[in-house]
A = this chain, B = another copy of it.
Amino acid sequence: MRNPELNAGQKGPSTPEIAAWIRERIRSRRFVSGQRLVEFDITRKTGGSRFKVREALQHLEAEGLVSIEEYRGASVRSATMDEVRQLYRARGALEGICAADFTRNASQKQHAKLKKIGNDMEHAVQVGATESFATLNAQWHELIMEGSGNPAIRALVQRLNTPVHHLVFETFYRAERLLSAIADHSAILAAISNRDPAGAELAMRQHVEDGFTFLMKLDKDLHFGDEAE
């Protein structure tokens, strides 16, 4: 148990690598909400120096993933349900814009690819391949943001997603949601194909906000009887 899990050559991992390591652990729920992130532990487990670990934590704080208190160090930040609602509202607006801009700016190739991913997703649902559905879904949304010519928004949305990932993950194991997502995607694709930016925007926003509604229901089921804090 002495060897670090992260080993980048001789010199130890870089600050971004450490940040990514922590981020991944938060995503995968190995670091849970509220858990304190002790510098020394991370130092040992990643093999990075304390200085770099500190830097990494600073970055994560700026991203909103952890919160740092004086003399108490960093801990995993938990988004309240209301915060998640706000973030989803923002995401809906931003991805809506991207859908509209995709309609205007995307290349023929990107249009084709979007259609293909959509088909693959339908197939994944029929087969029941949940993980590949999740991957495809992420690709689908990424593609729309990419084709819209708005890398800045894309980066923004990526950040918005991070603090709520654990919940999103659960979503992909519910068949109802999968089917409804497929239907939404078809509607969005139809609007895009019809060169209807406003329609695409509206449909996309609805899709994202429905995602939140579903999430909220799910959360009620999962954390039934949890006490706060």
Contacts A93-B93, A97-B93: A86 and B151 contacting too (C-beta < 8 A)?
yes
Would B156 and A90 count as touching, CB distance under 8 A? yes
Chain B nearest CB: distance from A148 CB in Å?
9
Closest CB in chain B relative to A187 CB, distance in Å: 19
Closest B residue by C-beta to A59: B62
Question: When the two chains form their complex, are residues B55 and A90 in contact, meaning their CB atoms are under 8 A apart?
Answer: no
Q: Write out the residue numbers on chain B whose beta carbons fall within 8 Å of the beta carbon of A89.
A: 97, 101, 150, 153
Given contacts A58-B59, A62-B58, contact A153 B96 (CB under 8 A): no
Chain B residues positioned under 8 Å from A74 (CB to CB): none
CA distance A101 to B209 in the complex (A): 14
* Chain B residues whose CB sits within 8 angstroms of the CB of A149 once the complex forms: 86
Taking a contact as CB atoms closer than 8 A, the residue among B58, B90, B153, B156 that contacts A97 in the complex is: B90
Q: Which of B55, B94, B152 contacts A94 (CB 8 A)?
A: B94
| A83 contacts the other chain (CB 8 A) | yes
B86 pairs with A153, CB closer than 8 A:
yes
In the complex formed, the residue of B with least CB distance to A155 is: B64
Taking the closest CB of chain B, its distance from the CB of A86, in whole angstroms, is 4
- A2 vs B12: C-alpha distance when bound (angstroms): 40
Q: Which of A58, A83, A90, A156 has the most CB of B within 10 A?
A: A90
Kindly state the separation between the CA atoms of A89 and B151 in the bound complex, as whole angstroms: 12
Q: Is A87 an interface residue (CB 8 A)?
A: yes
